[in-house]
């Protein structure tokens, strides 16, 4: 893995504007940045990113089964009690998942480490699946990249096959996000594009324009009944709104399904560590309430995790990250090293949520930027990746998206 300076494509901003990638620059800062790119070997991608991500996904599904076996653990994941059955039923009915994105720390040496799983509403889909691929083709054609350079990117094709495998031809699917958010709309449109190529009918409506009939069915802004709804809106917010009481009786299939609330949740990290302690792609992680006394006052953790904590205590005390159960774009995350807070997000929107602690992963430093890898899973298989980098160690909404290529 290395970072390589490359000439930018002439007029790439005009191209981005033409295809609707209107957030390539945000707030006067570049979001899409092709002044350099990350280079990988095929072995790095296949052995360190692709295969481990597919394995992590299978482990997450095992974690769902484990969480649902304990009412106390479901509650600990921040799921409102009124919707425990909704979440559990969606799993027992085997409601299908479409996609997710693991965020991994990786420097080309040693196993990638799981930072979190964006299992419910991952964004950056369009730039990962499409604009990044266009960059590869353009740079190959221009001779900037040598012939034979490739990219780990089968995301769009995998989405098409996923829709084709789940639904009959001409099935009407609905897609929704909060109106007026261009980044969210790009992700939803990328998903709708794949559905249309799979032979589905894809209808978009703003989330706030969805209504409920007297019979309890959801309808779009043209009063069409919604049978299947892809929603780019997190379950943790949805389950706290009045509309949530209509979900169970609506007859609508939700994508992603309600059980994804259990894995798009930082509480997944300590659950995975308790189930698979020592796995090479996991970092030690604990619910903060279980180990707070041990970390702050030098006392004992709760008995249930005492032995596990003792084995990880040196690593956790040397450096750990405090994360809320629910958080977006790095909000309310802080880094603690040797007892001192050394870095914290300027966004504290999620400060009131319960927290977990996770051992600090050392991020690589390329020219003062710290990249993280987003590995995309469609169905149950890792099918591509994208990278974002930031000068801070906490990746945020304005972190830059960097293209990648593979050369052996």
Phi, psi for residue 158 in degrees, rounded to 5: -65, -35
Is the pLDDT reported for residue 398 higher than 80?
no
If we measure between CA atoms, which residue out of 270, 362, 263 comes closest to residue 319? Answer: 362
**With contact defined as beta carbons under 8 Å apart, do 124 and 187 qualify?**
yes
Phi, psi for residue 27 in degrees, rounded to 5: 55, 35
Q: Which residues contact 324 (CB under 8 A, 6 or more apart)?
A: 266, 331, 332, 333, 350, 351, 353, 354, 355
> What would the pLDDT profile of 137-151 be if each residue is shown by its tens digit?
999 999 999 999 999
Q: Per-residue confidence at 200, pLDDT binned at 50, 70, 90?
A: very high
> What would the pLDDT profile of 332-385 be if each residue is shown by its tens digit?
788 998 888 888 877 777 777 899 999 999 899 999 999 999 999 999 999 999
> What would the pLDDT profile of 308-332 be if each residue is shown by its tens digit?
999 999 999 999 999 999 876 767 7
| Exposure on the CB side of residue 372, measured as CA atoms within 13 A | 24
Predicted TM-score (pTM) of the model is: 0.95
Whole-angstrom distance, CA of residue 9 vs CA of residue 11: 6
Is the pLDDT reported for residue 94 higher than 90?
yes
Q: Per-residue confidence at 407, pLDDT binned at 50, 70, 90?
A: very high
pLDDT for the residue 343: 83
Query: At how many degrees (to 10) do helices 182-197 and 155-166 cross?
Result: 60
- The mean per-residue pLDDT over the stretch 164-187 comes to 95
- 3-state class of 358 per DSSP? strand
> What would the pLDDT profile of 100-111 be if each residue is shown by its tens digit?
999 999 999 989
Is the pLDDT reported for residue 216 higher than 90?
yes
Q: Which residues contact 193 (CB under 8 A, 6 or more apart)?
A: 156, 202
pLDDT for the residue 408: 87
Q: Per-residue confidence at 284, pLDDT binned at 50, 70, 90?
A: very high
Which DSSP string do the residues of 52-106 spell out, in sequence order?
A: HHHHHHHHHHHHHHHHHT-HHHHHHTT--GGGHHHHHHHHHTTPPP-EEEEEEE-
Is the pLDDT reported for residue 99 higher than 90?
yes
> What would the pLDDT profile of 22-38 be if each residue is shown by its tens digit?
899 988 888 999 999 99
pLDDT for the residue 394: 73
pLDDT for the residue 77: 95
Mean pLDDT (the chain) is 94
Positive or negative, the CA dihedral 90, 60, 106, 385 is negative
- 255-266 b/e (C-beta count within 10 Å ≥ 16 → b): bbbbbbbbbbbb
Say whether the peptide bond before residue 256 is cis (omega within 30 degrees of 0): yes
pLDDT for the residue 338: 86
- The mean per-residue pLDDT over the stretch 219-240 comes to 96
Whole-angstrom distance, CA of residue 56 vs CA of residue 280: 11
List, as own/partner pairs, every contact residues 133-138 make where C-beta atoms lie below 8 angstroms and the sequence separation is at least 24, other chains included: 134/15, 135/9, 135/12, 135/34, 135/403, 136/403, 136/405, 138/9, 138/12
pLDDT for the residue 20: 87
pLDDT for the residue 361: 94
In terms of DSSP bridges, do strands 201-206 and 172-177 run parallel, antiparallel, or are they unpaired?
Answer: parallel
- The mean per-residue pLDDT over the stretch 296-308 comes to 89
Is the pLDDT reported for residue 258 higher than 90?
yes
- The mean per-residue pLDDT over the stretch 49-55 comes to 98
């Amino acid at each position: 893995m290395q970072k390589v300076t490359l000439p930018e494509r002439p007029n790439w901003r005009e191209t981005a504007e033409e295809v609707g990638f209107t957030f390539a620059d945000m707030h006067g800062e570049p979001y899409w940045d092709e002044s350099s790119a990350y280079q990988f070997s095929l072995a790095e991608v296949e052995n360190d990113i692709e295969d481990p991500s597919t394995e992590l996904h299978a482990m997450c599904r095992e974690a769902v089964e484990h969480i649902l076996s304990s009412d106390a653990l479901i509650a600990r994941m921040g799921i409102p009690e009124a919707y425990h059955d909704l979440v559990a039923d969606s799993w027992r009915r085997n409601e299908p998942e479409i996609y997710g994105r693991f965020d991994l720390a990786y420097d080309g040496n040693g196993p990638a480490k799981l930072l979190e799983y964006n299992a419910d509403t991952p964004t950056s889909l369009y730039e990962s699946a499409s604009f990044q691929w266009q960059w590869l083709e353009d740079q190959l054609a221009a001779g900037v990249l040598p012939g034979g350079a490739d990219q780990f990117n089968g995301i769009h094709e995998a989405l098409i096959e996923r829709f084709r495998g789940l639904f009959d031809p001409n099935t009407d699917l609905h897609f929704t996000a909060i109106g007026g958010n261009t980044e969210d709309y790009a992700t939803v449109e990328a998903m709708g594009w794949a559905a249309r190529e799979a032979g589905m009918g894809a209808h978009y409506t703003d989330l706030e324009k969805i209504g409920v009939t007297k019979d309890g069915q959801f309808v779009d802004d043209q009063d069409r009944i919604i049978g299947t709804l892809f929603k780019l809106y997190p379950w943790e917010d949805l389950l706290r709104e009045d509309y949530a009481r209509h979900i169970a009786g609506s007859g609508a299939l939700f994508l992603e399904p309600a059980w994804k609330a259990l894995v798009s949740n930082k509480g997944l990290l300590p659950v995975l560590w308790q189930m698979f302690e020592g796995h090479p792609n996991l970092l030690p992680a604990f619910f903060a309430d279980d180990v707070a006394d041990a970390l702050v006052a030098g006392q004992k953790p709760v008995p249930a995790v005492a032995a596990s904590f003792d084995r990880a205590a040196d690593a956790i005390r040397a450096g750990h990250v405090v994360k809320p159960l629910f958080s977006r774009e790095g909000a309310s995350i802080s880094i603690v090293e040797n007892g001192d807070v050394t870095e914290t997000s300027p966004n504290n929107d999620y400060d009131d949520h319960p927290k977990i602690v996770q051992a600090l992963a050392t991020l690589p430093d390329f020219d003062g930027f710290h990249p993280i890898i987003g590995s995309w899973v469609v169905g149950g298989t890792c099918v591509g990746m994208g990278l974002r980098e930031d000068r801070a160690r906490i990746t945020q909404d304005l972190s830059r998206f960097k293209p990648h290529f593979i050369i052996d």
